[in-house]
């Protein structure tokens, strides 16, 4: 049997169900992998090894007794350190929460544990998840396994690296401005931003927001859909949860893509600067879809207003979330800046943002009457130097704030459309680059089908990072 730490979650599921592998065997192999590889990359920051071994023992006993097995039976997972986990330290990457141990699970964790997943630990994040580069004063920086001097992206950077290095089979993440997609692109794994409400958020201070979503991360699109089948579905505690059951995502992803209409743009219609190496990958990805039989055209919706929508609503959310913490003096400067920007907002400014938000939705809706999918860059740059807080410039254009270089991801966040980051190539010096596949409003399954088809005819996702070579 191949290295079980790089088996797909679906293959692990089958082997566990057939009793070809035991849960204890699987968990111990992943714990060994963490012990060997994690010191090089700093992805798993709170390990619960004894708890995981006990859970694996209980899972094996359940299987031996002939009990019905839940969908994630015996599968090792790691949870983002922004997601509350009952009885396990959840720091949010902040000294203000360094010793916080929740008494309850966040809904996404509740569903994963209820489905039989075995928790190995927590994955690293930027402080309070702010910024697409994973470093914080509690645990330090997470390193990119393809070049340990580079960023792993964020805010789900620890999750992405843990997956890339075979330290877990599945991972949960969250995404406001690209936090599922950006680290997936930087580390050659899958990150899926589902439609708002697809994976309900609870508890949530702002239950009506459509900017913040939770979603799956994996090494294959099929595994991401598998995890989504567990974490998606309605919940009365979330006011925007969608009624479609999660089980609908457990269906096969195979589809005939002949005559499917695909648009692509290397720079969001000229709206953002993009490094040439990234733009080239988007163009090459368009050719893959053409080879699949798609009708491919260079085209892009009008993203006018997306920047104002995202920045205004994000600043307002930061003020709500972090305003009470400003007086502590223990927030990093970018969080303080964004929170103070929210404090300065006026009612008319919020109103204008919502009008622009609605107009953007309508333009996207109309665009997807002509096309089935849209291919875009995930990130405007390849992985950048670890010591930088964010890139100072992109394609020769200065980045004035920590948000500027993330526009290719957060413009899509503002639309509310589902978006997938799938491995799509490497730079000349071996750094991963993903392509972003965007679909129509709530067409989550179709987007996963497109990513699966792309993945089947490319070999990018099969490459393993250098830190796993020894």
Selecting among 94, 132, 179, 229, the annotated active-site residue is 179
Of the residues 155, 241, 321, 379, which is catalytic? 155
Q: What is the reported pLDDT for 236?
A: 98
Contacts of 361 (CB under 8 A, 6+ apart): 415, 416, 441
| 155 labelled catalytic | yes
Give the active site residue among 13, 22, 80, 285.
Answer: 80
Using CA atoms, how far apart are residues 325 and 336, in angstroms rounded to an integer? 9
Does 179 qualify as catalytic in the annotation? yes
Give the integer Cα–Cα distance in Å for 416 and 439.
Answer: 10
| Architecture of the domain defined by 4-468 | Alpha-Beta Complex (3.90)
pLDDT of residue 469: 83
- Which tokens belong to 379? 């990130």
pLDDT tens digits for range 303-332: 999 999 999 999 999 999 999 999 999 999
Q: Which pLDDT value is given to residue 79?
A: 98
Question: Per-residue pLDDT tens for 104-148?
Answer: 999 999 999 999 999 999 999 999 999 999 999 999 999 999 999
Q: How far apart are CA 257 and CA 254, in angstroms?
A: 9
Q: Please give the distance of CA 415 from its chain centroid, rounded to a whole number.
A: 17
Distance, CA of 175 to CA of 180 (rounded, Å): 5
> CA–CA separation, 79 vs 196, rounded Å?
20
Q: Where are the domains of the chain?
A: 4-468
Q: Which residues of the chain have pLDDT under 70?
A: 1-2, 470
Q: Is the Cα torsion angle 249, 240, 367, 357 positive or negative in sign?
A: negative
**What is the model's pLDDT at position 201?**
98
pLDDT of residue 255: 98
């Amino acid at each position: 049997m191949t290295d079980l730490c790089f088996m797909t979650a679906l293959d692990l599921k089958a082997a566990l169900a057939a009793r070809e592998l035991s849960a204890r065997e699987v968990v111990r192999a992943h714990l060994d992998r963490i012990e060997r590889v994690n010191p090089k990359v700093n992805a798993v920051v709170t390990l619960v090894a004894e708890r995981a071994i006990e859970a694996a023992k209980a899972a094996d006993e359940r299987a031996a007794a002939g009990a019905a097995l839940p969908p994630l039976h015996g599968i090792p997972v790691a949870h983002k350190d922004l997601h509350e986990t009952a009885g396990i330290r959840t720091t949010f990457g902040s000294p203000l929460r360094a010793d916080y141990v929740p008494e309850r699970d966040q809904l996404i964790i509740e569903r994963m544990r209820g489905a039989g997943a075995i928790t190995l630990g927590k994955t690293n994040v930027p402080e309070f998840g702010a910024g697409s580069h994973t470093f914080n004063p509690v645990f330090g920086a997470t390193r990119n396994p393809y070049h340990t001097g580079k960023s792993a992206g964020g805010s789900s950077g620890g999750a992405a690296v843990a997956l890339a290095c075979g330290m877990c089979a599945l991972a949960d993440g969250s995404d406001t401005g690209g936090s599922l997609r950006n680290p997936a692109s930087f580390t050659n794994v899958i990150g899926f931003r589902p439609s708002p409400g697809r994976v309900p958020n609870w508890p949530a201070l702002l239950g009506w927001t459509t900017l913040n979503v939770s979603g799956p991360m994996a090494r294959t699109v099929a595994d991401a859909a598998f995890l989504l089948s567990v974490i998606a579905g309605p919940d009365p505690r979330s006011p925007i949860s969608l009624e479609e059951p999660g089980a609908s995502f457990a269906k096969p992803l195979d589809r005939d893509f002949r005559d499917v209409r695909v648009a692509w743009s290397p720079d969001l219609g000229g709206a953002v600067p993009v490094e040439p190496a990234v733009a080239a990958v988007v163009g090459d990805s368009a050719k893959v879809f053409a080879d699949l039989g798609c009708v491919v055209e260079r085209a892009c919706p009008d993203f006018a207003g997306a920047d104002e929508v995202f920045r205004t609503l994000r600043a307002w959310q930061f003020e709500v979330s972090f305003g009470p913490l400003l007086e502590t003096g223990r927030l990093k400067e970018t969080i303080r800046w964004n929170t103070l920007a929210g404090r300065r907002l006026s009612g008319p400014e919020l109103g204008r943002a919502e009008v622009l938000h609605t107009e953007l939705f309508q333009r996207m809706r109309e665009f997807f009457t002509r096309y089935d999918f849209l291919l875009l860059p995930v990130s405007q740059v390849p992985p950048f130097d670890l010591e930088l807080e964010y890139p100072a410039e992109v394609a020769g254009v200065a980045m004035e704030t920590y948000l500027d270089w993330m526009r290719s991801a957060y413009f899509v966040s503002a639309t509310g459309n589902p978006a997938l980051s799938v491995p799509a190539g490497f730079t000349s010096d071996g750094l991963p680059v993903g392509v972003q596949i965007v679909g129509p409003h709530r067409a989550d399954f179709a987007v996963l089908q497109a990513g699966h088809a792309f993945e089947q005819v490319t070999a990018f996702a099969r490459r393993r990072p250098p830190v796993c070579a020894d």
